[in-house]
Structure 1
Amino acid sequence: MVDEAEPTPHSRIDPITPQNYPVPLSPQLPPISKEIELSRAMSASSKSSLFALSRADFLYEDEWLLAVNKPQGIYCESVLSSVTSTLALPSSSDGLTEGIKISLPEPEPELHLANRLDRDTSGVMVITKSHKVAAKLVKAFTDHKVRKTYIALCVGSAPQWRKITVRSGHGRSKFGAWRVYAASDVGRTLPGGSVIRDMETSFEVLTINGNGSFKEPSEFTNDEGLTVVVEQKAVRKDVMEDEVLVRAYPRSGRTHQIRLHCQYLGISIKGDVKYEGVYEWQDKSNDAHQLHAESMAFEHPVTGMQIVLHAPLPLWANQALQL
């Protein structure tokens, strides 16, 4: 057996050179967010344990999939669990019609979440009833063949644009938080081994301080409005005096995408304490962020029919629109 060589006076271990990791262009989570988010999570857990979906919450249903209007402050998993018991309930058409109606038990559907919404985001959530349909719909999401719109109520300085598209990188920093990175950093590796991915969102202003009007979602082409390709930190104005209602058209499906891009534009979503959204506004505290999954359109994975889903606007959006 050969012994390891003793180190000579001239031998040394080369110092490890730190890798030149990309630098995030959005700030760290504010310290206040930890306490508020913990409180919100505990409240949501309590509410979710008692949550029961009703058929009035259904936006669409057929034998392959269904869509529901997810409420604010409820976890997606709780909605999914509640769907099982809701589907098991007899509908108004069940019962005795002529003579005795005998029904054989049907196998339980293989329910899957086709899309996920943050705990405090309300709106359209699609659930498939079989593994095969789930795989097809997931592929449609991956291939960017599903069109979505969101409504967000923001607080900041009134933007000088009416329509804008933001392109940036997206990744998780060494502190575990999702952050905005430069578009030129897409593909680079972050601490932990994850890779920065592309992220693109288009926005249009609906109202500023109640001035404006609601309009139905329309196709937002890339040549409309301004285009911002993110390469440096945003210049933030300290004065936050305007309430801005925007519609967002996400072109990609990154975690917290709309929330991050609203923060970058200087109009953080009201109540979104993770991304510099105001917790208190006009003497009222916000127990959740005000973001709503308004619509979703896609080709039905089985029939090929075009499906367009709309979730009713929440109270805060109607109030901002003065409806």
Structure 2
Amino acid sequence: MAMPHQDEPTSSSRIDPINPKIYPVPLSPQFPPISKQIELSRAMSASSKSSLFALSIKDILYEDEWLIAVNKPQGIYCDTVLSSVASFLAHSHGVSQEIKVSLPELHLANRLDRDTSGVTIITKSHKVASKLVKAFTDHKVKKTYIALCIGSAPKWKKITIRSGHGRSKFGAWRVYAASDVGRTLPGGSVVRDMETSFQVLSVNGKGSLKDVSEFTNDEGNSIVVEEKAMKEDVVMEDEIVVRAYPRSGRTHQIRLHCQYLGISIRGDVKYEGVYEWKGKTYDAHELHAESLSLEHPITSLQVVIRAPLPLWANQALQL
């Protein structure tokens, strides 16, 4: 069941009375009021789960002397994974707790939202961290995600959406017009570019898990966002599994673009995803960081790291 959201503020509320300035207008809605209560409950649950979390060998996707890649579980904070890696390495390499401080300096190369599962890379030195962070910043790391969405089955099989991205006056991440990129927002930040390609894998269990392929910009449809999305009068309640190829690395990017396309991720209450579905209540959104492809920061070899699909994705794809 979709939840109503708060009305958009009036245009006058977007003008700073001390330093009058008209700011870009967000094209996606604010968080639904009920999402605050649900998110607080989820955060408390995640804190409890994270306090008990310990990394095991089955969570390790890749390791060498410079990197370690982990399949982060849903509902666990990235910082918890980072601290667990230190304990895991100490134990696996026979290092006692007393001298664990001598372990390599660990850094999160990429971060996932609390409820997003999948590939998380931790570097083992400052030098490797700086190189890998630069690779992410320069968009040289290719990423794919799997999401289970609810809405009307898309008429497209592949699509690319380009928009602006930024924080609104109320602190929420929102979609902005592509033409607003570079404009100043309340608080001094600016609208940044955001681009994601999507591929439909299945609708209501009909479809298949296709191999990850190179997705060129001239494939499928293309949307350049300049106005609010037009919602269909009759919204079907289809279960749609998509693979997302983010071209940029903006906060909540895939979640925002799914919302704009009218196929919000199941359980994603911040972005109009259903909280209850077919008699079940969902305590997290269903988004999974499926793969990362990158040039190794030391060896320069191409490395592809994949995380096994979670249960909800296997069920939806009927694997």
TM over 0.5: yes
Aligned pair in 2 of structure 1 residues 105, 81: CA closer, same or farther (>3 Å)? closer
Instruction: Check whether the contact 2:90–2:100 (CA below 8 A) recurs between aligned residues.
Output: no
Q: Secondary structure of the residue that 1:259 maps to in structure 2? A: helix
In structure 1, how many angstroms separate the alpha carbons of the residues matched to 2:181 and 2:202? 33
How many correspondences in the alignment? 299
Task: Write the deviation string for residues 218-239 of structure 1: whole angstroms up to 9, x where unpaired.
Answer: 0000000000000000012352
Match 1:176 to one of 171, 178, 185: 171
Tell me if the contact between 2:168 and 2:185 (Cα under 8 Å) persists in the aligned partners.
yes
Distance in 1 of aligned mates of 2:137 and 2:186: 25
1:56 positional shift: 1.4
Change (3 A) 1:162 1:109: same
SS in 2 for 1:277: coil
Question: Match for 1:256 among 230, 252, 263?
Answer: 252
* Corresponding position of 1:113: 108
1:240 CA displacement: 3.9
Of 303, 306, 318 in structure 1, the residue corresponding to residue 302 of structure 2 is 306
With over 3 angstroms needed to count, the CA separation of the structure-2 counterparts of 1:188 and 1:106, relative to structure 1, is closer
Residue 16 of structure 1: how far off its partner (Å): 5.7
Q: Distance in 1 between matches of 2:89 and 2:119?
A: 18
Aligned equivalents of 2:111, 2:267: Cα separation in 1: 20
Q: Which amino acid aligns with 1:60?
A: Y
Counterpart for residue 124 of structure 1? 119
The ranges of structure 1 where at least 4 consecutive aligned residues each deviate by more than 6 angstroms after the TM superposition are none
Match of 1:42 in 2: 44
Deviations, residues 216-265 of structure 1 (Å, cap 9, x unaligned): 11000000000000000001235241110000000000000000000000
Alpha-carbon spacing, 1:136–1:16, altered in 2? closer, same or farther (3 Å) = closer
1:243 alignment partner, one of 236, 239, 243: 239
| Structure 1, unaligned runs of 5 or more | 1-14, 95-103
Counterparts of residues 146-225 of structure 1 (less than 5 Å): 146-225=141-220
AA at the equivalent of 2:23: Y
What is aligned with 1:10? Answer: none
Residue 18 (structure 1) shift: 2.7
State the match for 2:70 in structure 1: 68
CA 1:273/1:68 → structure 2, altered by over 3 Å: closer, same or farther?
same
Partner of 2:228: 233
Structure with bigger gyration radius:
1
Give the residue type in structure 2 aligned to 1:84: A
2: CA distance, partners of 1:315 / 1:202: 24
Identity percentage over the alignment? 79
TM-score (ref. length: structure 1)? 0.90
Distance 1:322 1:136 in 2: 39
